Amino acid sequence: MFGRIIPAFVNLTPEIMERQLMRHLITHGTRWTGGDPRTRQEGLARIVQIRTDLLPLIPRPAQVLVGTGHRFIETWDRIAPLFPNITVGFTPLLGGPEASEKDELHVSLADGRKIPRDSYIGINTPSFNAWLFVANVQDTTLFCSGPEFMEALGLLVPGHLALGRLFALDADKHLCTEIT
């Protein structure tokens, strides 16, 4: 079953979100290309804007899980001041140092080597059940990830439209709702 993206909350207050024990996903901002790319300045500015304007609207996470590539760690570093003394875990299941290239035909590995996309098996492979992963973490977990994880959830959103965004994830209904 593919997930669906709902463009904005409709009658979902923070109290309702807390009762439903939703998990949340913040995606990294625009990034450079190449192996283990870093986030561009405008991408970091967008994450700071989310930290200021949107993250205060969600319940305090039970934990934060972060992808292992630079762009995911940079996202966490920008939002970490909001969540002192919180448990933080790191997992390549949310994205590693590999990165899709703009031509969408290649993937850059951590060492900068470019390989054809069809010879790369990432987290968006059908054998990885991303919704099951989301359902089996603590309620109210915050994920720091990116477009590949959204694709693994079955959310077919062009990568550039998924960057620098905050979403609520409902694992029971396989729904992803952008918080705007």
Domain with 21 in it: what CATH number? Answer: 3.40.50.1240
Beta bridge partners of 100: 107
pLDDT for res 158: 64
Boundaries of domain holding 58 = 4-178
pLDDT for res 15: 53
3-class secondary structure, 15? helix
Instruction: Determine the Cα–Cα distance for residues 163 and 72; give it in Å rounded to an integer.
Output: 11
How far out from the chain centre does Cα 95 lie? 8
pLDDT for res 123: 84
Total domains in the fold of the chain: 1
Whole-prediction pTM value?
Answer: 0.84
**Which H or E element spans position 145?**
strand 142-145
pLDDT along the chain (180 residues), means of 10: 39 49 90 89 95 93 95 96 95 90 85 91 85 94 92 76 88 89
For 74, the token pair is: 């940079």
Please say whether the beta carbons of 170 and 20 come within 8 A.
Answer: yes
pLDDT for res 60: 92
Beta bridge partners of 5: 176
Question: Which residue type sits at 126?
Answer: P
For 171, the token pair is: 């694992």
Instruction: Determine the Cα–Cα distance for residues 39 and 45; give it in Å rounded to an integer.
Output: 10
